[in-house]
């Protein structure tokens, strides 16, 4: 025998292979469980919506789902929708995207969810098309996102009638970094927040 030390691979390599196979197995099981849950939700209420797509290897790429109550709520509260894809809290580190609105009690309401493999324009276009189809083709009056250029391109093509605006929180969160070279930066930052959050008219904001 040549001996363990002469093997053409390391123990670490074996662990990597085993890890990948286990991850693949877990992914297949989790996907099956997820779609079984979606099927039960659809059986309980035919207005529950879900859609997915796979790649050439028949591996799940992206999935969108919308609760029946969310579809009903959207018809009344489609004025402004926030689209966010900054959450990565799941085991597979897939970005979790969501559509969120506000009801007549100033409460946030969930209007749709998605798990996406890639954060690119084509993926966002697919998610938005599926979500828009679910909502009967009714585009929101306005849509708020972070400063992602990829999202902006998708919105221009899929939601051309929606007014696109950037999230003020994301904008103001970058202000301290932009003001590093400015004297009395904290004072300037506070003044900017006061102007943004406490102005109730265009005239008041500009003055």
Best CA proximity match to 45, nearest among 70, 11, 13, 80: 70
pLDDT confidence bin for 206, thresholds 50/70/90: confident
More confident residue, 53 or 207: 53
On whether the CB atoms of residues 62 and 114 are closer than 8 A, the answer is: yes
What is the C-alpha end-to-end distance of the chain, expressed in Å? 86
> Looking at residue 113, what is its pLDDT?
95
Burial 47-65 (b: 16+ CB within 10 A, else e): ebbbbbeeeeeeebebbbb
On whether the CB atoms of residues 79 and 85 are closer than 8 A, the answer is: no
Distance CA 28, CA 80 (A): 36
Tell me what the pLDDT averaged over the chain comes to. Answer: 83
> Looking at residue 20, what is its pLDDT?
46
Distance CA 55, CA 61 (A): 6
Beta bridge partners of 126: none
Distance CA 58, CA 125 (A): 20
Looking at the chain, the whole-number percentage of residues with pLDDT higher than 90 is 51
> Looking at residue 12, what is its pLDDT?
52
pLDDT confidence bin for 25, thresholds 50/70/90: very low
pTM, entire model: 0.75
Q: pLDDT (tens digit, 9 = 90+) per residue, 3-18?
A: 444 444 444 544 444 3
Distance CA 129, CA 113 (A): 13
Q: pLDDT (tens digit, 9 = 90+) per residue, 87-123?
A: 765 455 678 999 999 999 999 999 999 999 899 999 9
More confident residue, 203 or 93: 203
> How many other C-beta atoms can be found within 10 angstroms of the C-beta atom of residue 144?
19
Axis crossing angle, helix 149-158 with helix 121-134, rounded to the nearest 10: 40
> Looking at residue 160, what is its pLDDT?
97
Best CA proximity match to 163, nearest among 72, 81, 75: 81
Q: Which ranges in 78-201 belong to alpha helices (H)?
A: 121-134, 149-158, 168-173, 175-178, 185-198
Best CA proximity match to 113, nearest among 67, 171, 81: 67
Summarize the chain as % helix, strand, coil (round to 5). Answer: 50, 20, 30
């Amino acid at each position: 025998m040549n001996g363990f030390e002469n093997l053409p691979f390391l123990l670490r390599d074996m662990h990597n292979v085993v890890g990948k196979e286990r991850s693949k197995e877990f992914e297949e099981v989790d996907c099956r469980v997820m779609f079984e849950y979606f099927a039960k939700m659809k059986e309980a209420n035919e207005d529950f919506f879900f859609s997915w797509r796979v790649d050439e290897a028949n591996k799940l790429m992206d999935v969108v789902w919308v609760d029946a109550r969310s579809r009903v709520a959207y018809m009344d509260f489609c004025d402004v929708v926030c689209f966010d894809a900054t959450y990565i809290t799941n085991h597979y580190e897939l970005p979790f995207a969501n559509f969120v609105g506000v009801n007549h009690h100033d409460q946030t309401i969930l209007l749709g969810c998605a798990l996406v493999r890639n954060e690119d324009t084509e993926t966002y276009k697919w998610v938005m098309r599926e979500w828009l189809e679910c909502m009967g083709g009714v585009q929101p009056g306005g849509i708020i996102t972070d400063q992602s250029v990829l999202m902006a391109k998708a919105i221009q093509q899929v939601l051309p009638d929606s007014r696109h605006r950037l999230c003020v929180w994301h904008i103001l969160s970058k202000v301290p970094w932009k003001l590093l070279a400015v004297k009395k930066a904290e004072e300037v930052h506070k003044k900017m927040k006061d102007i943004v959050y406490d102005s109730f008219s265009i005239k008041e904001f500009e003055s």
